[in-house]
Structure 1
Amino acid sequence: MLLKGSFESLVAERVKAIDDIADRLPVIVIISKISDFSVVYMSPRGLKLLEMTLEELQEIKAEYQYRFFNIEDSDDYWPKFRKMLMNNDMDQSVAYLQQVKHANRDDWAWYISSTRIFLKDENGAPYLIITTATAIDDMKHMPLKAERLLRENNFLRNNYQKFSRLGKREKEILKLVALGQSSPEIGDSLHIASATVDAHRKNIKRKLGISSSYDFSEYARAFDLI
């Protein structure tokens, strides 16, 4: 078992090893404490984008997560994080999409990130995690399909509450409208009157705040109805 001073020296040694090569890596590197996800280290490229010094990031501790990241993204990757930490496996990593707020822009920037356990404590429990992040904007080869999926993911997050107000029948009709079916055609396939379909369509438009066939299709794609 390592003594406290020896463990602190090991942490400093491991962090320095990353700092020595960080400028030569094609990614941003962040090392964080698992206990509160506060930053222990961030490579210079990341600090420049946030316009923060490492000391400033360390001072605000876990607050930096709320200041620079879209916390709603964590709903997707946190269960995977938890499983990785419970497995206590240093060979396991979690890959995910993440939205980051740069200091010089108002909109979110998309990143592909990957996280794994970096160092265990004296008792063999996960202590530090290391994350590498690559900006989507830097990936000129990214297919248009992937870019569309990112937009749909953002649309889903912004409109989930409205979509959840729809009933089962309304979701069925939303799907069929998105597929280009008319009210009489939908009525025939669902064995209901065309006037009933029209009433459902009106309610769907009201609940979602939409008006066009394109809007129906956008919701249907984002929520995997088509």
Structure 2
Amino acid sequence: MQHSPPAHQRGLTEQMKAKIAEIDAVANEIPGVIIIHSNNGMGVEYMSQRGLDLLGVTLEEVVAMGPAYYDRFFNPEEANDYVPKIIGALERNDQLEWVSFFQQVRNLPNYEYTWYASSTKIFMRDETGNPILNITIAVPLDLAHHNTTKVDRLQKENEFLRNNYSKFSKLTGRERDILKLTALGKSSGEVAEALFISTATVETHRKNIKKKLGINSSYELSQYAMAFDLI
């Protein structure tokens, strides 16, 4: 015998449908693609028609994919960068927080990726205050437009982060402090004074930083400091 879901669950489902309907009513007026994800398994609950047309699928097909949706349409290397940020925002559960990121999307495996600038935030909570839906607005980037140079720079920065994260993660907290101050142009003496350590210790740390990162120049130190938001 099949049992009906509890009344509170049915009520929550109806609230979700009502919230999604509000978005669907204005989706065509928004210059981008709107996606609403379920935080239970991160599957898609809703996608605006513009997004469905770009991917060449129906809403029913996207919903049925579940988490496989991400494997099919998104660049996994990019996802490794922004997905942890989204999960962190959901765990912090701050209604005012959103996560912005770049992502690459394609509708078929042999097609080239298209760049999107996207932002995600919590869209709905359950009766206990836990997030159950998040909403994303994704805007395709026109690489033929005047912002090509900026987009290209951002792409290169993202690539630098992916390629060098494993090396950067080996730095200790103190080494990151010294990397930051060095990138800001501080001398060994100034770094030593700021961190209350000896100049010899600073020099030792600098040698270890360069060895771990596989670099030699001050310019390369600055690259790491900027890429990983130390300055």
TM-score for the superposition, normalised by structure 2: 0.64
Aligned to 2:100: 97
Query: Per-residue deviation at 1:43?
Result: 0.5
Find out whether 1:112 has 2:112 as its counterpart. no
Supply the distance in 2 between the matched residues of 1:204 and 1:57 (Cα, whole angstroms).
46
Secondary structure, counterpart of 2:170 in structure 1: coil
Find out whether 1:19 has 2:24 as its counterpart. yes
Supply the distance in 2 between the matched residues of 1:213 and 1:157 (Cα, whole angstroms).
21
| Residues 54/93 of structure 1: CA separation in 2 closer, same or farther (3 Å cut) | farther
Q: What do residues 42-65 of structure 1 show as CA deviations (whole Å, max 9, x unaligned)?
A: 002222343433232122112223
Find out whether 1:186 has 2:188 as its counterpart. yes
Q: Is the 8 A contact 2:120 2:134 kept in 1?
A: no
Q: CA RMSD in A?
A: 4.4
From 89, 93, 99, give the equivalent of 1:80: 89
Q: Is the 8 A contact 2:119 2:138 kept in 1?
A: yes
Supply the distance in 2 between the matched residues of 1:132 and 1:175 (Cα, whole angstroms).
33
Supply the distance in 2 between the matched residues of 1:127 and 1:204 (Cα, whole angstroms).
40
Secondary structure, counterpart of 1:101 in structure 2: strand
Q: What do residues 145-170 of structure 1 show as CA deviations (whole Å, max 9, x unaligned)?
A: 9x988976764454333123234564
| Residues 153/54 of structure 1: CA separation in 2 closer, same or farther (3 Å cut) | same
Aligned to 1:133: 137
Which range is displaced more, 36-45 or 11-20?
Answer: 11-20
How many residues in Structure 1 have an aligned counterpart in Structure 2? 210
Supply the distance in 1 between the matched residues of 2:9 and 2:172 (Cα, whole angstroms).
58
Query: Per-residue deviation at 1:94?
Result: 3.8
| Residues 107/208 of structure 1: CA separation in 2 closer, same or farther (3 Å cut) | farther
Supply the distance in 2 between the matched residues of 1:13 and 1:225 (Cα, whole angstroms).
43
Query: Per-residue deviation at 1:117?
Result: 0.4
Supply the distance in 2 between the matched residues of 1:209 and 1:177 (Cα, whole angstroms).
16
Aligned to 2:68: 63
Supply the distance in 1 between the matched residues of 2:173 and 2:13 (Cα, whole angstroms).
56
% identity of equivalent residues: 35
Q: Is the 8 A contact 2:90 2:131 kept in 1?
A: no
Aligned to 2:221: 216
Supply the distance in 1 between the matched residues of 2:11 and 2:175 (Cα, whole angstroms).
63
Q: What do residues 88-118 of structure 1 show as CA deviations (whole Å, max 9, x unaligned)?
A: xxxx354111333221543753312333107
Supply the distance in 1 between the matched residues of 2:224 and 2:188 (Cα, whole angstroms).
18
Q: Is the 8 A contact 1:117 1:128 kept in 2?
A: yes
Aligned to 1:54: 59
TM-score for the superposition, normalised by structure 1: 0.65
Paired letter, 2:88: P
From 159, 165, 169, give the equivalent of 1:164: 169
